[in-house]
A and B are shown apart, each in its own frame.
Chain A
């Protein structure tokens, strides 16, 4: 067996100063940035390798930009935030969108299928105090994004791999296959085949380690669509073979990644 090739020396960047890391928040639950604080075993090592320049959930310290790496959580839902993301992009050498809100609008993108004025008056007694856009959209819909970490929430192992790769000047090794592959590699019995439980695993991006099938439930797609996902085929399997009502299929495709194009399109084929 040939030796595993390593990256050519010329591609390895040599750093003299610690990179400046910033963590930004838009419409979200804070869970993805909390993933960094949840790396209990690695936290002190990670923060030792970077300068935390802006991370208000964790520190009062604020260092001025520009920033080497910006992790961006949340979706764009207000006029103010649509401006703020442009400023952050301009200040960031590398911008990484983290989580389903930042990469696919999040659960709050359910407003994209509704009348946001009606939503506002349902929740707030004085809708005139509320400033909001009619849609919730991904960061990449507003500015160029250098990398995306999927998931609701992201996987902390994937976050560590991303930071590790960045610090060593290499590309992150993150799978882009479906949850099905993770299921098979763990030896988990298929939920659709064995007990006719609808599962979004065939069209969902890997990263969770097939968490739901491992707990006897179908995948609910929180990592969003994988590359080249055939959602129409899976949607047809749900309705034709498993006799799932159209409205339930629509709900399945319209959740935490409701503004991801592949899921959005398939959701429109059902229930309306």
Chain B
């Protein structure tokens, strides 16, 4: 028992494939590795030679769970390269369709992937036998989010209606307003969700994170802002590569991100919330306070509460935009290719998603760089595991395995995005 390894060969309820390896020698933690073995797909390589207008649809295929993050990031980067500014109504509608993705993704994670850990079930389907109301509520909320993506994107997975310059077509005001009742129901359901998850038991585990997120002067960030951190980063997204760097490690097909001159960083709901609390709506702030959250949150286990608060915000924001929707707006603007480099960074449900492209004067892509949020979080997840396992090494393997999986799922890691995830191995020797 003195020396042991714990291995989880397949991490369940994460999007993608990975494994965890923990090595303990004489009750001293020696190694923690989050192995991502999602096969490499080489997006950045094969984007070279493709047309700038193809990047949104192609990069959407990086992730079936958050395609909007890629559609928008790529479209915005190309608009930046071509020096065009999209009109305000298109920007608003991009926020609206992003609300759909946030709702769909956050509800999927909070109820179907994360909550079963807290309540002690293998999955949401088994959980439905004891908590039918919660699961039914989740499915309906998730559907309302997906419906928004279908309305503006054509379908929920890999939407076809989003392009460089805007949308191919727009729905009628009547079709859009027909969603109001559902969205109002969803807003109530999201408030109920905050109350529900606030009552869960959370381990006492605060971390000194460097939070990184977008920050906009007067909005909670979805589609744009400066890149800021809780330890002093404050740059335009065009300087992303000056402050965050990627490293290639042997045990992962996903590149690891570090802050230049410092250490790991944390992106996603906790980071957005902690850096932008002031821009949440009054209702979302009140829900957060009632749930016992402060203006920042450094306990990753509470991320389920923060996701619920962000879902409240997403429903409110969707209602605000739907209320102002009018017929007859042009669906897009013309974007002519122009040689140069463009940057796009949006807040995917799991955190910032960065795109950089260089195109020539015919619009052919010469160079591409895309960083998914899970790639940024991966070394931070390893650090959390290290800090969490170390004081608990004497616990049994099964118990350790369970808490490690929970600690990983706190990040809602999307491994197909970053490459992929989880198998746990604990080696004790």
Interfacial residues, chain A to chain B (CB-CB below 8 A)? 25-32, 34-35, 37-38, 40-41, 43-44, 47, 52, 56-62, 77-78, 81, 106-108, 110-111, 114, 116, 118-120, 122-126, 129-130, 132, 152-153, 208, 211-212, 214-217, 220, 222, 248, 251, 255-256
A123, A217, A248: the one within 8 Å of B40 (CB): A123
- With an 8 A cutoff between CB atoms, is B86 at the interface? no
- With an 8 A cutoff between CB atoms, is B284 at the interface? no
B13, B128, B157, B249: the one within 8 Å of A44 (CB): B128
Q: Are A77 and B62 in contact (CB under 8 A)?
A: no
Q: Are A222 and B14 in contact (CB under 8 A)?
A: no
Kindly list chain B residues whose C-beta atoms are within 8 Å of the C-beta of A30: 15-16, 63-65, 414, 416
Kindly list chain A residues whose C-beta atoms are within 8 Å of the C-beta of B154: 211-212, 214-215
- With an 8 A cutoff between CB atoms, is B185 at the interface? no
Interface window among B136-144, B187-195, B232-240: B136-144
Kindly list chain B residues whose C-beta atoms are within 8 Å of the C-beta of A116: 42
B10, B44, B157, B253: the one within 8 Å of A35 (CB): B157
- With an 8 A cutoff between CB atoms, is B207 at the interface? no
A70 to B161, CA, bound (A): 32
Contacts A58-B123, A215-B169 given; indicate if A123 touches B44 (C-beta within 8 A): yes
Query: In whole Å, how far is B32's beta carbon from the nearest beta carbon of chain A?
Result: 18
Q: Are A28 and B416 in contact (CB under 8 A)?
A: yes
Contacts A56-B11, A126-B250, A129-B250 given; indicate if A211 touches B160 (C-beta within 8 A): yes
- With an 8 A cutoff between CB atoms, is B294 at the interface? no
Kindly list chain B residues whose C-beta atoms are within 8 Å of the C-beta of A123: 40, 42, 44-45
A47 to B50, CA, bound (A): 41
A108 to B253, CA, bound (A): 15
10 new A-B contacts at CB < 8 Å, known A61-B123, A107-B41: A38-B146, A58-B123, A59-B12, A108-B42, A119-B45, A122-B42, A124-B255, A216-B169, A217-B169, A251-B50
Query: In whole Å, how far is A245's beta carbon from the nearest beta carbon of chain B?
Result: 10
A130 to B247, CA, bound (A): 14
A114 to B47, CA, bound (A): 12
- With an 8 A cutoff between CB atoms, is B382 at the interface? no
Most A CB within 10 A of own CB, among B11, B39, B140, B249: B39
B40, B116, B160, B414: the one within 8 Å of A124 (CB): B40
Q: Are A215 and B161 in contact (CB under 8 A)?
A: yes
Q: Are B168 and A216 in contact (CB under 8 A)?
A: yes
A47 to B123, CA, bound (A): 12
A217 to B159, CA, bound (A): 13
Q: Are A255 and B58 in contact (CB under 8 A)?
A: yes
- With an 8 A cutoff between CB atoms, is B83 at the interface? no
Q: Are B50 and A34 in contact (CB under 8 A)?
A: no
Name the interface residues of B242-291: CB closer than 8 Å to any CB of A. 247-250, 253, 255
Q: Are B247 and A31 in contact (CB under 8 A)?
A: no
Contacts A29-B62, A30-B63, A118-B45 given; indicate if A153 touches B157 (C-beta within 8 A): yes
Contacts A44-B125, A118-B45, A120-B42 given; indicate if A29 touches B63 (C-beta within 8 A): yes
Find the A residue at minimum CB distance from B59: A107
- With an 8 A cutoff between CB atoms, is B342 at the interface? no
A122, A129, A215: the one within 8 Å of B248 (CB): A129
Most B CB within 10 A of own CB, among A37, A38, A57: A57
Q: Are A251 and B51 in contact (CB under 8 A)?
A: yes
- With an 8 A cutoff between CB atoms, is B210 at the interface? no
- With an 8 A cutoff between CB atoms, is B330 at the interface? no
- With an 8 A cutoff between CB atoms, is B54 at the interface? yes
Kindly list chain B residues whose C-beta atoms are within 8 Å of the C-beta of A120: 40, 42, 45
Query: In whole Å, how far is B94's beta carbon from the nearest beta carbon of chain A?
Result: 16
Q: Are A119 and B42 in contact (CB under 8 A)?
A: yes
Name the interface residues of B352-408: CB closer than 8 Å to any CB of A. 405
Kindly list chain A residues whose C-beta atoms are within 8 Å of the C-beta of B46: 107-108, 110-111, 114, 119
- With an 8 A cutoff between CB atoms, is B17 at the interface? yes
Contacts A31-B64, A78-B39 given; indicate if A122 touches B15 (C-beta within 8 A): no
Q: Are B61 and A29 in contact (CB under 8 A)?
A: yes
Query: Mind listing 18 A-B residue pairs with CB under 8 Å?
Result: A29-B63, A30-B15, A34-B15, A41-B143, A58-B123, A60-B122, A61-B123, A81-B39, A110-B46, A114-B45, A126-B250, A130-B253, A152-B61, A212-B160, A215-B161, A215-B169, A217-B163, A251-B50
Contacts A81-B39, A216-B169 given; indicate if A31 touches B67 (C-beta within 8 A): yes
- With an 8 A cutoff between CB atoms, is B80 at the interface? no
Most B CB within 10 A of own CB, among A29, A106, A255: A29
Q: Are A37 and B112 in contact (CB under 8 A)?
A: yes
- With an 8 A cutoff between CB atoms, is B108 at the interface? yes
